[in-house]
Amino acid sequence: MNKINLKKHNISLTIAIVVTIVTAILFSFLFLYLGINHRKDVYNDSKKLAIEISRKAAFETQVYILSAIFTAKSLEQKAHLLKKLNGSRDEIRTMLNEAINENTNYLGVWTLWEPNAFDGNDHLYQNDSLYNEMGTIGIGIFRYNDSVYYEVMTTKDYIGDYYKYPKELLSDYLTEPYRFAYSGHKQLFFGSTVSVPIIVHDQFVGAIGVDIDLESLQNYLNKIKPYETGYLSLISNSGKIISHVDTSFIDKNIFDYLVKSDTISYDAVVNGKELTFEIVSEFTGEKVFRMFYPIVVAEGNKPWSMMIEIPIEKATYRSKQLLNVAIVTLIVGLSLLIYLIINISERKRYERRLLAAKSQAEESDRLKSAFLNNISHEIRTPLNGILGFSELLVDDRIKVDEAKSYKKIISESGKQLLSIIANVIELSKIQSGKSKINIHKFSIEKALDGVIESFKTAAKEKELNIVISYSQSKPEHYFSTDEDKLKQVFNYLIDNAIKFTHSGQVEIGFKDQGNSFLFYVKDTGIGIKPNNVKNIFEFFNQGDVSTVRRYGGLGIGLSISKSLVDMLMGRMWLESEMGTGSTFYFELPLLKAK
Secondary structure of residue 512 in the 3-state scheme: strand
Asked if residues 111 and 209 have their Cβ atoms less than 8 Å apart, the reply is: yes
Tell me the one-letter amino acid at 390.
S
Enclosing H/E stretch for 400: helix 400-432
pTM equals: 0.47
pLDDT at 297: 75
Range 319-352 burial, b when 16+ CB lie within 10 A, else e:
beebbebbeebeebbbebbeebeebeeebeeeee
d(CA 547, CA 500): 9
Range 453-471 burial, b when 16+ CB lie within 10 A, else e:
eebeeebeeeebebeeebe
pLDDT at 94: 94
Which of the listed ranges 66-75, 333-342, 400-409 does the model predict with the highest average pLDDT?
66-75
Asked if residues 74 and 196 have their Cβ atoms less than 8 Å apart, the reply is: no
pLDDT at 9: 46
Looking at every residue in the chain, the average pLDDT score rounds to 79
Band (pLDDT 50/70/90 cuts) for residue 399 is confident
**Ramachandran assignment for 161, one of left (phi > 0), alpha (psi -120 to 50 degrees), beta (any other):** alpha
195-244: pLDDT as tens digits: 999 999 899 999 999 999 888 888 888 887 776 677 888 998 889 998 88
Residue 136: pLDDT above 50? yes
Half-sphere exposure of 83 (CA within 13 A, CB side): 20
Q: Residue 302: name the closest of 169, 190, 107 by CA.
A: 169
Per residue, the 3-state secondary structure of 550-570, as one string, reads HHCCCCCHHHHHHHHHHHCCC
Question: Bridge-partner residues for 293, per DSSP?
Answer: 306
Asked if residues 259 and 252 have their Cβ atoms less than 8 Å apart, the reply is: no
Helix residue ranges per DSSP H, 135-284: 161-169, 214-222, 263-271
d(CA 162, CA 195): 6
d(CA 494, CA 457): 13
List Cβ neighbours of 403 (8 Å cut-off, separation of 6 or more). Answer: 393
Among 109-118, 270-279, 391-400, 535-544, name the one with the lowest average pLDDT: 535-544
Among 410-419, 440-449, 473-482, name the one with the lowest average pLDDT: 410-419
Q: How would you class 476 by CB atoms within 10 Å of its CB: exposed for 0-12, middle for 13-18, buried for 19 or more? A: exposed
78-107: pLDDT as tens digits: 999 999 999 999 999 999 999 999 888 899
d(CA 493, CA 592): 26
The mean per-residue pLDDT over the stretch 297-304 comes to 78
List Cβ neighbours of 446 (8 Å cut-off, separation of 6 or more). Answer: 476
pLDDT at 6: 45
Which of the listed ranges 368-372, 454-458, 536-540, 570-574 does the model predict with the highest average pLDDT?
570-574
pLDDT higher at 490 or 62: 490
Residue 2: pLDDT above 50? no
Q: For 355-359, which contacts have Cβ atoms below 8 Å and span 24 or more sequence positions?
A: 357/49, 357/52, 358/48, 358/52
317-327: pLDDT as tens digits: 555 555 555 55
Could you tell me the CA-to-CA distances from 198 to 5, 84, 162, 204, 387 in Å, in that order?
A: 105, 12, 13, 6, 16
pLDDT at 472: 79
